[in-house]
């Protein structure tokens, strides 16, 4: 089967990866993206429960991938539950070459309808890393930094506005590191009362204070051989900053009310949506602690600075919510995509995700239109230009004017312009060359 698939994908100019391990598959989905995932349900999976769990996990980790299940002729009881949780199609073994080719082509067509083929652009740019999606140059730099950070155990400081994905970056560093088998413990320091942060991080002994009726192992102790992620590090008061500084310097700590030192073996990642350098200047954050945390800094860019990523993310979230809301919406209309791409996005990726979820919930057709977006987006849409045709104009003059106006309206987004004009992108490029507009 692998040999036959290799021939089929080479004929289509695609790439093929394979594994016999489910756990390795999950790691592969963290590191890369796949258009189609072919599952041989006869090898080592065995039960309905294991197959459906595998398909469900694939859809959660890579919602835009199209899963295909291969089963024995008498295993229809495995295929039906798998179809319900996200399998696109199934085939009974042995599968003739012609049927396998048709199945692959149908799956790739399905991938196109869900957005675009990942393999089409993967030769030059990575479109995602784990759950982080984006092919912009800004995100290429982030992917490289995440991979570099995962190879070390030094403290990592992740900066960036709210909603830029600092938590996803931290979890990905953990998953790609040699500590991936250990726990990933995330602590939102900003959500904790100031007087409880110290005991929550370092733990306490029985009787350490009124109400401490039992011993408590803090988050650092819970993160045995794993990674602890301290979000909103800027919110902790100076007393806790001193304790954290001591832990980093000495690699050990004491529980509140305790006398013995406990060795720290947690890998530390901290994050903030504030400018810590400015807070240091204002004496609102300790300089020595910042130096200790800031060994390797990653700055997550705001969505407005990620050229070309809005459409990519919108398609990703569309696939996710199509699956969770049991819908089959194919795409965005050019006007709705224009509204998304022209918005400032103060809430960044998190805000975009919420907007797409609302659009999917309110859309009953197969295309997201401006009326499915919130009123603020509809108000932001520019008035559509009116094209005036002078009597006596040639068809070539009219076509050239239509192309120029459409490119102006889409801010030179050629894919969007081609969609509005009802032609392929290649045809548009040919027209641009013909009219000397490129």
Q: Domain residues of the chain, as ranges? A: 2-120, 128-299, 305-380, 395-434
Which one of 3.40.50.300, 3.10.20.310, 3.40.50.2300, 1.10.10.60 gives the CATH number of domain 395-434?
1.10.10.60
Q: What is the pLDDT of residue 228?
A: 96
Homologous superfamily of the 2-120 domain (CATH): Response regulator (3.40.50.2300)
Residue 300 contacts residue 253 (beta carbons within 8 Å): no
Q: Look-up: residue for tokens 């997201």?
A: 368
- Taking every pair of Cα atoms in the chain, the longest distance, rounded to a whole number of angstroms, is 94
Evaluate if pTM is beyond 0.75.
Answer: no
**Confidence at residue 212, expressed as pLDDT on a 0 to 100 scale:** 78
pLDDT at 95: 82
Characterize the bridge pairing of strands 36-40 and 296-299: unpaired
Name which of 226, 230, 232, 224 is nearest 244 in CA terms. 230
Any idea which residue has 């999950």 for tokens?
26
pLDDT value of position 383: 56
Sign of the C-alpha dihedral, residues 313, 319, 321, 324? negative
For residues 62-90, one letter each, b for 16 or more C-beta atoms within 10 angstroms of the residue's C-beta and e for the rest, the string is bbbbbbbbbbeeebeebbeebbebbbbeb
Buried (b) or exposed (e) across 311-345, using 16+ Cβ within 10 A? bbbbbbbbbbbbbeeeeebebbbbbbbbbbbebeb
DSSP per position, 49-76: HHHHHHHHHHHHH-TTSEEEEEE-TT-H
Single out the residue of 272, 208, 217 nearest to residue 241, CA to CA. Answer: 272
Mark the ranges of the chain whose per-residue pLDDT is less than 50.
115-124
Structure confidence at residue 123 (pLDDT):
39
Question: What CATH number belongs to 128-299?
Answer: 3.40.50.300
128-299 matches 2-120 in CATH topology: yes
Q: Are 365 and 177 in contact, with CB atoms under 8 Å apart?
A: no
Rounded CA separation 196/217 (Å): 13
Q: Integer distance in angstroms from the first to the last C-alpha of the chain?
A: 46
The beta strands (E) that lie in 124-226 are given as: 128-129, 132-133, 156-159, 184-188
Produce one character per residue of 112-132: b if its CB has 16 or more CB atoms within 10 Å, e if not: eebbbebbeebeeebbbbbbb
DSSP state of 384: P
pLDDT for residue 122:
40
pLDDT value of position 292: 95
Domain 305-380 has CATH 1.10.8.60: yes
Of 111, 141, 140, which is closest to residue 124 (Cα–Cα)?
A: 140
Is the separation of the CB atoms in 172 and 130 below 8 Å? yes
Best CA proximity match to 350, nearest among 302, 312, 298: 302
Q: Choose among 332, 369, 373: nearest CA to 351.
A: 373
Distances (CA, A) of 275 to 166, 187, 280, 288, 290: 14, 20, 9, 16, 11
What per-residue confidence (pLDDT) applies to 243? 93
């Amino acid at each position: 089967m692998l040999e036959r698939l290799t021939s089929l994908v080479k004929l289509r100019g695609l790439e093929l990866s394979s594994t016999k391990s489910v756990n390795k598959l999950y790691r592969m989905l963290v590191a890369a993206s796949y258009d189609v995932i072919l599952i041989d349900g006869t090898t080592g999976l065995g039960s309905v429960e294991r197959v459906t769990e595998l398909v469900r996990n694939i859809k959660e980790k890579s919602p835009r991938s199209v899963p295909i299940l291969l089963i024995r002729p008498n295993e229809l009881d495995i295929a039906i539950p798998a179809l319900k949780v996200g399998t696109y199609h199934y085939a009974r073994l042995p599968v003739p070459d012609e049927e396998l080719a048709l199945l692959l082509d149908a799956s790739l067509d399905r991938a196109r309808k869900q957005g675009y083929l990942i393999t089409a652009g993967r030769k030059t740019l990575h479109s995602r890393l784990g759950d982080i999606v984006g092919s912009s140059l800004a995100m290429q730099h982030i992917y490289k930094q995440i991979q570099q950070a995962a190879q070390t155990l030094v403290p990592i400081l992740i900066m960036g506005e709210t909603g830029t994905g600092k938590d996803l970056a931290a979890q990905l560093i953990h998953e790609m590191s040699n500590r991936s088998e250990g726990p990933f413990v995330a602590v939102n320091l900003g959500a904790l009362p100031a007087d409880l942060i110290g005991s929550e991080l370092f733990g306490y002994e029985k009787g350490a204070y009124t109400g401490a009726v039992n011993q408590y192992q803090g988050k650092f102790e819970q993160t045995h051989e794993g990674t602890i992620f301290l979000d909103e590090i800027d919110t902790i008061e100076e007393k806790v900053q001193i304790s954290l500084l001591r832990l980093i310097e000495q690699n050990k700590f004491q529980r509140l009310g305790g006398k013995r030192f406990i060795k720290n073996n947690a890998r530390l990642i901290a994050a903030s949506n504030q400018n810590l350098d400015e807070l240091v200047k204002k004496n609102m954050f300790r300089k020595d602690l910042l130096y200790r945390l800031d060994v390797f800094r990653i700055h997550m860019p705001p969505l407005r600075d990620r050229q070309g990523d809005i459409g990519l993310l919108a398609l990703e979230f569309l696939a996710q919510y199509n699956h969770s809301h049991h819908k089959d919406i194919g795409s965005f209309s050019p006007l709705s995509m224009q509204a998304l791409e022209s918005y400032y996005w103060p809430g960044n990726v998190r805000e975009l995700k919420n907007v797409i979820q609302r659009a999917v919930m309110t859309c009953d057709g197969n295309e997201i239109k401006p009326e499915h977006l919130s009123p603020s987006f509809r108000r932001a849409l520019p008035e559509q230009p009116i094209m005036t045709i002078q009597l006596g104009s040639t068809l070539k003059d009219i076509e050239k004017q239509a192309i120029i106006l459409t490119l102006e309206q889409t801010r030179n987004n050629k894919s969007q312009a081609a969609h509005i004009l009802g032609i392929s992108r290649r045809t548009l490029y040919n027209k641009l060359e013909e009219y000397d507009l490129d």
